[in-house]
């Protein structure tokens, strides 16, 4: 079936059939499209404008924390990539290699950046001389490539994706860890306040931490199919990279020290997370704080009252234009078709206005998140939509929190956690630090892993669900993308 024809009929499956539902949502809400480059997709304007929102909102927060944007080369010489042993082990199986320019074979092959530590840090090493050059906080919004061989999922796992990568150097561990809290909190605020997404920060186990780092903390979200999404991340690298890339500074006492480093990122997978958590069978639902158009005005057009209704629509538009409202005055589509279309595309508020409404000095207002409709006085429209947009934003966040909590169950045995995973949920289990237990857990559960350590739960006498020895911590266990 051609796309245009399909689009007209809306999403044809329940959200429970998550994979098919998500694919239809992506295609029919015009968010993305497949390409012939395996695992790479087009971010269409409807999705890209949301990514621009991620950039602008996060940048505002970063700037307050002293971060500056820059741009480093896409290509990394092989010898640079190889300097930090754990790092190269983690990334090299997925690296896309440039070997030729035109017909000429390059003398050294070049990695397409999977992440930019190894190209940025040689520059950092040159630029940093003394404590006066610290902290150094440089961020890039760019594209990276990780040629994963597992099944690609649009937005969640694509071989090329967009992200920010913020790499900082500080004079002490204390400063580094404080900065970590601040930046992770900036991400959390953005995801909560703009994306209306409830998530949980958690530290990774040794097995799951960033290749080459000391410790990793990420924000975690759970989408309706029970998958845990690893969102914005903070990697504390200690002096590991500083030693490998010779990032040294003279401290206030004139002594040479290695810098302490952090790395942070938020990627386009958060768009997928937002789409997956909020949307429904009618299509996309966008939180007002993310939507570029928050309100669509749909005039109900009849030949004899058309002008009057359009005039009144224009007046209303002026009144509420600060909410990026627009009028859909196309006369080749019926109102019902337009309702469906803008529901599919996720506009938070729809205002319907017909000749009878005008007589009563009223309009009908429909909210996308609950699909509720009500009639309001035109004279109060600005106040009403402002309040409604705030309500929608709050309600969407509350719903995402409820969803998250409904997906969590405690388990104390392998059998229990296996059932939880089968039921497309996430378990909390006691586990020991032995990486072998994590491996067994993964194979026994069909791929669920110890995603992060539960911070607020302390183990007492609990036993590891695998080896039955004393547990070291509780972990959230689930499948990820």
What is the contact surface with its own copies in residues (CB under 8 A)? 2-4, 33, 35-37, 40-45, 48-49, 51-52, 68-77, 80, 92-103, 109-110, 112, 119, 122-123, 126-127, 129, 138, 142-143, 145, 147, 149, 160, 162
**Would you say 131 or 198 has its CB closer to its own copies?**
131
Between residues 110 and 432, which has the closer beta carbon with respect to its own copies? 110
User: Please, which residue, 84 or 438, has the CB nearer to its own copies?
Assistant: 84
- With respect to its own copies, which residue has the nearer C-beta, 138 or 358? 138
Concatenating the DSSP letter of every residue in 430-475 gives EE-S-HHHHHHHHHHTTS-EEEEE-SS---SS-B-TTT-SB--EEE
Q: Which is nearer to its own copies, 99 or 461 (CB)?
A: 99
Distance of closest approach, residue 129 Cβ to its own copies, in angstroms: 5
Q: Minimum distance from CB of 252 to its own copies (Å)? A: 12
319-356 core/surface letters (b: 16 or more CB in 10 A; e: else): ebeebebebbeeeeeeeeebbbbbbbbbbbbbbbbbbe
CB of 246 to its own copies, least distance (A): 14
The greatest distance separating any two alpha carbons of the chain, rounded to the nearest whole angstrom, comes to 85
Pick the closest to residue 454 from 254, 228, 211, 196 (CA basis): 228
Which one-letter DSSP state was computed for residue 206? Answer: G
Surface-to-core class of residue 217, CB atoms within 10 Å of its CB (0-12 exposed, 13-18 middle, 19+ buried): buried
**CA 109 to CA 117: how far, in whole Å?**
18
Pick from 82, 421, 469, 68: nearest CA to 228: 421
* Between 55 and 215, CB nearer to its own copies: 55
- Nearest approach in angstroms of CB 342 to its own copies is 17
CB of 92 to its own copies, least distance (A): 7
273 or 393: CB nearest its own copies: 273
Least separation in angstroms between residue 331's CB and its own copies is 13
**Nearest distance in Å: CB 240, its own copies:** 21
In the complex with its own copies, the residue whose CB is nearer, 2 or 255, is 2
Shortest reach from residue 61's CB to its own copies, in Å:
16
How far is residue 283 from each of residues 1, 27, 69, 410, measured CA to CA in Å? 19, 10, 35, 33
Nearest to 212 by CA among 118, 277, 286: 118
Q: Which is nearer to its own copies, 7 or 282 (CB)?
A: 7
Q: Pick the closer one to its own copies by CB: 162 or 437.
A: 162
Cis peptide leading into residue 169 (ω within 30°): no
Provide the minimum distance between the beta carbon of 338 and its own copies in the complex, in angstroms, as a whole number. Answer: 14
- Alpha carbon distance 35, 41 (integer Å): 6
What residues have CB less than 8 Å from 191, skipping those under 6 apart?
Answer: 197, 199, 219, 221, 231, 232, 270
Q: How far apart are CA 282 and CA 371, in angstroms?
A: 10
H or E segment and range at residue 316: helix 306-319
Least CB distance from residue 262 to its own copies, whole Å?
18
């Amino acid at each position: 079936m051609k796309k245009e024809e399909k689009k007209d009929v809306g999403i044809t499956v329940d959200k429970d059939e998550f994979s098919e539902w998500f694919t239809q949502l992506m295609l029919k809400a015009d968010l993305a499209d497949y390409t012939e480059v395996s695992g790479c997709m087009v971010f269409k304007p409807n999705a890209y404008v949301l990514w621009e929102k991620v950039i602008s909102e996060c940048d505002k927060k970063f700037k307050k924390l002293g971060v500056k944007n820059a741009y480093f080369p896409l290509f990394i010489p092989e010898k640079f990539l190889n300097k930090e042993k754990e790092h190269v082990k983690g990334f090299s199986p997925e690296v896309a290699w440039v070997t030729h320019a035109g017909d000429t074979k390059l003398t050294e092959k070049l990695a397409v950046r999977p992440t930019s530590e190894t190209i940025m840090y040689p520059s950092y090493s040159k630029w940093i001389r003394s404590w006066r050059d610290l902290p150094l906080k440089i961020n890039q919004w760019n594209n990276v490539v990780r040629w994963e061989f597992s099944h690609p999922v649009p937005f969640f796992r694509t071989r090329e994706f967009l992200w920010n990568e913020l790499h900082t150097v500080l004079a002490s561990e204390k400063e580094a860890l404080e900065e970590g809290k601040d930046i992770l909190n900036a991400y959390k605020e953005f995801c909560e306040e703009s994306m209306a997404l409830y998530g949980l920060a958690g530290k990774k186990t040794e097995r799951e931490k960033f290749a080459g780092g000391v410790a990793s903390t990420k924000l975690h979200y759970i989408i309706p199919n029970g998958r845990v999404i690893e969102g914005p991340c903070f990697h504390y690298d200690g002096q590991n990279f500083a030693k490998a890339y010779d990032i040294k500074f003279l401290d206030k006492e004139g002594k040479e020290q290695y810098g302490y480093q952090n790395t942070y990122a938020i990627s386009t997978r958060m768009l997928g997370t937002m789409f997956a958590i909020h949307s429904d069978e009618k299509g996309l639902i966008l939180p007002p704080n993310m939507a570029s158009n928050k309100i669509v005005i749909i005039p109900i057009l009849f030949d004899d009252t058309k002008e009057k209704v359009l005039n009144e629509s224009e007046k209303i538009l002026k009144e509420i234009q600060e909410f990026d409202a627009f009028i859909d005055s196309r006369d080749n589509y019926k109102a019902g078709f337009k309702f469906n279309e803008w529901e599919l595309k996720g506009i938070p508020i729809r205002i319907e206005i017909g000749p009878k409404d005008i007589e009563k000095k009223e309009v009908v207002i429909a909210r996308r998140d609950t699909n509720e409709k009500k009639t309001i006085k035109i004279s109060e429209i600005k106040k009403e939509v402002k309040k409604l947009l705030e309500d929608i934003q709050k309600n969407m966040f509350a719903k995402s929190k409820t969803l998250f909590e409904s997906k969590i169950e405690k388990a104390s045995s392998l059998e229990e956690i296996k059932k939880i995973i089968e039921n497309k949920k996430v378990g909390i289990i006691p586990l020991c630090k032995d990486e072998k237990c994590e491996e067994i857990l993964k194979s026994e559960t069909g791929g669920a892993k110890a995603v992060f350590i539960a911070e607020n739960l302390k183990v007492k006498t609990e036993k590891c669900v695998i080896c039955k020895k004393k547990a070291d911590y509780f972990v959230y266990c689930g499948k990820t993308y």
